[in-house]
Amino acid sequence: MDTSVITDNFDTFTDDALGWISDNGEWLFDFIRMVLEGTYDGILWVLQISPFYVIAALAALLGWRLINLAAGLLTGVALTFCTAMGLWAETMSTLALVATATILALVVGIPIGILAGFVRSFDRALEPVLDLIQTLPPYIYLLPAIALLGYGPATALIATFIVAMPPAIRLTSLGIRMTPREFIELGQASGLTPWQMFTKIRLPFAIPSVMAGINQSLMMAFGMVVIAGIVGSGGLGETIYGAVRTLDIATSINAAIAIVILTMVLDRLTQSAAHRAKAGAR
Amino acid sequence: MNTINNANEVLVDCQNVWKIFGARAPTAIRAVEERGLSKKQILEEFDCVVGVANANLQVRRGEIFCIMGLSGSGKSTLVRLLNRLIEPSLGQITIKGKDIAKLNAAELRDMRARNIGMVFQSVALLPGRTVLENAAFGLEVRGVPRDERYKIARAALEKVGLADWMARYPSELSGGMQQRVGLARALAADPEIILMDEPFSALDPLIRRQLQDEFRQLTKSLGKSSVFITHDLEEAIRIGDRIAIMKDGVIVQVGTAEEIVTQPADDYVSEFVAGISRIHLVKAHSVMLPVAEFQTLQPHCDVEALLKTSPEADIGELIDLTMRSNRDAVAVVENGAMVGIVTTRGLLCGVAGTPARELVAA
């Protein structure tokens, strides 16, 4: 028997299913797009309404408070450099994309992670799904997304959201499960209700791991947001994609530098926030 | 009358308590009920480990009850059965007359929060909270308003000598101080019973001794009862009013320190007590000879001329008295009547740990 019949049938089926979903679920995908783009536009509006020096100064201040004065100054200078390259607007769109996707990934991922931390069987069922999400090439997520949500930031956001979610789930679940045995016993012996056990014992011990998860989600989101330039995400990703197509090497290098700067600034800031949470829990 | 009743009131009562661990524990328990299997048979037949086997103990109000055993003897399991951190496989545990197996989740939480405090070897102080917040933890979970719980926690910390450390974090404190906070946390909740799970085992000897004395004094002055787990017999003797010795899940002997040292129930216990100094443990009443017997041995001695002491005088005091008198015997007097004579030979037997029975024979 010709096996290609099976695969052809499967392919037809997949295409039909996708077609059916996009026809019948139009209202749903319109709604999803509205939520995604609404959040994105809101964040972008805030970032664009303030002049670059306000954002740079705020980031510098954060760097100073969370790390040290040198880090703060470097942050300010690095962000100013993005403006100097004429890429401030794109940098802010990328920041808005990353922020939106990461926030959504955390809003969905952290509760799932908490549930997985408590329910062992759910965690075991989740594990292969997360493995799959993380091993598939990230481009894969763009295709169904573009079919359902169309060209534009919404598709980029949903793909970025999918890629950014697994670390938040994994590290939250790990944090919840890692509560030291003696503190569980303390909680039980002190007569804590299950809710008190969660808020007063489990959660404080999980915070460092959750913070590490947030940092990881953010980094995954940065990786994806550049790839998402292909589907018209806007921002630096699209600048790079456009520059690659026109062989504009100078622009693509500038945009790449801007991405590196943005990534490093956010990475350092969230990492030191995570360290602080760890120091607080020790 | 009432106070006497109160003093003898049994707060914690364990009746035939078993804990069996393992996949086939329920079948093993049925076998114990029906056939009265031994630990070894349970292990062979059902591949189940017996944590606690047929434990019986009573803790009275105001008493410090020590459970002494080596690691793996089941003492930690036993103490966790008392506040149902571990469910018993068989038997009944009553706290203040209430069968704790019958409590529902809310009642159990309430009993743990109000009646039974617990102090752990690992201390388990919450790292993100100050000493004061840690001490107030038990009250916090009970919903006591902030000002009130801090007031109570402050008083508890003052009792354990940490008045100057309230705003510090646990990581800034030494091991001994951390354990004081653990004790203050238990005291602040004002429970009648405090379970102490090897609280001082990880501390260095000097601090340990100091805390043992403070703990005993504090417990007695506050009128608390305590079940104190330890692997150190000397600690049990220093702290406990009564001591239970555990081996392989079985309580082999329960008694006062003197009873355990002078009348060990079996070879295991006697091996344990062999190295223990008897000077302050063994009392006159267990090393004295009956007056008549003494007089047949030494007919010329005038017993009325001997120095006198009470039956509760320990060997240390008896040695002092013997040294001060020019005779080699001391008379033991109770309620004005002479009840026995302690000879030098008797004293030496007491120090060496020769059982009282042999003493009489000699």
Count CA atoms closer than 13 A to B362's CA, side-chain side: 17
Whole-number Å distance between alpha carbons of A99 and A157 = 10
- B169 → chain A, closest CA residue: A282
Which alpha helices (DSSP H) does B83-121 contain, by range?
Answer: 105-114
pLDDT band with cut points at 50, 70 and 90 for residue B108 = very high
Q: How far apart are the first and last CA of chain B?
A: 44
Q: What is the pLDDT of residue B65?
A: 95
Judgement on whether residues A65 and A152 belong to the same structural domain of the protein: no
Cα-Cα-Cα-Cα dihedral sign, residues B266, B268, B271, B277: negative
Task: Collect all residues of chain B within an 8 Å Cβ-Cβ radius of residue A182.
Answer: 120, 122, 124
Domain boundary residue among A67, A84, A101?
A: A84
Q: What is the pLDDT of residue A126?
A: 94
Mean pLDDT for B120-140 is 92
- The residue type of B183 is L
Whole-number Å distance between alpha carbons of A266 and B185 = 41
Candidates A183, A189, A282; nearest CB to B112? A189
The whole-chain average pLDDT of chain B stands at: 87
Judgement on whether residues A72 and A108 belong to the same structural domain of the protein: no
Tell me, what DSSP letter sits at residue B94? E
Q: What is the pLDDT of residue B2?
A: 43
**What's the gap in Å between the CA of B328 and the closest CA on chain A?**
56
Whole-number Å distance between alpha carbons of A59 and A43 = 16
Is the model's pLDDT at B7 over the cut of 70?
Answer: no
Whole-number Å distance between alpha carbons of B288 and B294 = 9
Mean pLDDT for A103-114 is 94
Tell me, what DSSP letter sits at residue B255? E
Whole-number Å distance between alpha carbons of A101 and A43 = 11
In this structure, is residue A144 part of a structural domain? yes
Tell me: the pLDDT tens digits for A140-170?
888 888 878 888 888 889 999 999 999 999 9
Q: What is the pLDDT of residue A279?
A: 67
Instruction: For domain B284-361, give its CATH number from 3.40.50.1370, 1.10.3720.10, 3.40.50.1820, 3.90.1280.20.
Output: 3.90.1280.20
In this structure, is residue A12 part of a structural domain? no
- The residue type of A250 is A
In this structure, is residue A168 part of a structural domain? yes
In this structure, is residue A19 part of a structural domain? no
Tell me: the pLDDT tens digits for A46-67?
888 888 888 889 989 988 888 8
Q: For residue B18, which of B48, B59, B45, B47 has the smallest C-alpha distance?
A: B48
Candidates B112, B126, B195; nearest CB to A191? B112
Contact yes or no for A183 and B126 at CB 8 A:
yes
Whole-number Å distance between alpha carbons of A188 and B113 = 9
Percent of chain A exceeding pLDDT 90 equals 43
Is the model's pLDDT at B328 over the cut of 90?
Answer: no
Q: What is the pLDDT of residue B80?
A: 93
Judgement on whether residues A242 and A258 belong to the same structural domain of the protein: yes
Question: In total, how many domains does chain A have?
Answer: 2
In this structure, is residue A236 part of a structural domain? yes
Contact yes or no for A186 and B124 at CB 8 A:
yes
Is the model's pLDDT at B24 over the cut of 50?
Answer: yes
The whole-chain average pLDDT of chain A stands at: 88
Q: What is the pLDDT of residue A132?
A: 93
Q: pTM to 2 decimals?
A: 0.80
Q: Could you give the C-alpha distances from A149 to A28, A153, A231, B266, B295, in angstroms and in order? A: 10, 9, 11, 81, 111
Q: For residue A277, which of A190, A210, A198 has the smallest C-alpha distance?
A: A210
Is the model's pLDDT at B357 over the cut of 70?
Answer: no
Candidates A186, A204, A281; nearest CB to B120? A186
Judgement on whether residues A247 and A258 belong to the same structural domain of the protein: yes
**What's the gap in Å between the CA of A107 and the closest CA on chain B?**
25
In this structure, is residue A9 part of a structural domain? no
Q: What is the pLDDT of residue B348?
A: 86
Judgement on whether residues A75 and A212 belong to the same structural domain of the protein: no
Task: Collect all residues of chain A within an 8 Å Cβ-Cβ radius of residue B186.
Answer: none
**What's the gap in Å between the CA of A191 and the closest CA on chain B?**
4
Lowest mean pLDDT across A76-90, B171-185, B192-206, B285-299: B285-299
Range of the domain at A193: 27-49+87-281
Tell me the CATH number at A128: 1.10.3720.10
**What's the gap in Å between the CA of B33 and the closest CA on chain A?**
30
Judgement on whether residues A64 and A196 belong to the same structural domain of the protein: no
- Which uninterrupted H or E stretch holds B206? helix B205-222
b/e string for B281-316 if b means 16 or more Cβ within 10 A?
A: bbbbbbbbbeeeebeeeeeebeeeebeebebebbbe
Q: What is the residue extent of each domain of chain B?
A: 61-87+103-115+191-273, 284-361
pLDDT band with cut points at 50, 70 and 90 for residue A118 = very high
Q: B233 with B272: CB under 8 angstroms?
A: yes
Whole-number Å distance between alpha carbons of B192 and B60 = 11
Is the model's pLDDT at B358 over the cut of 60?
Answer: no
Which residues are bridge partners to B21 per DSSP?
A: B49
Whole-number Å distance between alpha carbons of A129 and A135 = 10
- A204 → chain B, closest CA residue: B128
| Cβ atoms within 10 Å, residue B23 | 10
Which residue has better confidence, B109 or B272?
Answer: B109
Q: How far apart are the first and last CA of chain A?
A: 64
Is the model's pLDDT at A122 over the cut of 90?
Answer: yes
Q: B54 with B131: CB under 8 angstroms?
A: no
Judgement on whether residues A127 and A229 belong to the same structural domain of the protein: yes
Q: What is the pLDDT of residue B228?
A: 95
Q: What is the pLDDT of residue B58?
A: 92
Task: Collect all residues of chain B within an 8 Å Cβ-Cβ radius of residue A206.
Answer: none
Whole-number Å distance between alpha carbons of A217 and A168 = 6
Is A250 in a helix, a strand, or coil? helix
Tell me: the pLDDT tens digits for A209-267?
999 999 999 999 998 888 888 888 888 888 988 888 898 888 889 999 999 999 999 99
Judgement on whether residues A117 and A255 belong to the same structural domain of the protein: yes
Cα-Cα-Cα-Cα dihedral sign, residues B321, B327, B328, B333: negative
> What ipTM was predicted for this assembly?
0.81
Please tell me which of B245-254, B276-285, B289-298 the model is most confident about, judged by mean pLDDT: B245-254
Find which of A178, A186, A195, A198 to mutate to test the B interface (most B CBs within 10 Å of its CB): A186
Task: Collect all residues of chain A within an 8 Å Cβ-Cβ radius of residue B128.
Answer: 204, 280-281
Mean pLDDT for B5-26 is 84
Candidates A185, A204, A280; nearest CB to B120? A185
Judgement on whether residues A229 and A148 belong to the same structural domain of the protein: yes
Q: What is the pLDDT of residue B362?
A: 42
CATH superfamily of B61-87+103-115+191-273: P-loop containing nucleotide triphosphate hydrolases (3.40.50.300)
Judgement on whether residues A129 and A75 belong to the same structural domain of the protein: no
Whole-number Å distance between alpha carbons of B112 and B124 = 17
Contact yes or no for B142 and A191 at CB 8 A:
yes
Q: B54 with B18: CB under 8 angstroms?
A: yes
pLDDT band with cut points at 50, 70 and 90 for residue B361 = very low
- Percentages helix, strand, coil for chain B, rounded to the nearest 5? 45, 25, 30
The residues on B that touch A, with CB distances below 8 Å, are: 83, 85, 108-114, 116-118, 120, 122, 124, 126-128, 137-138, 140-142, 171, 189, 195
In this structure, is residue A100 part of a structural domain? yes
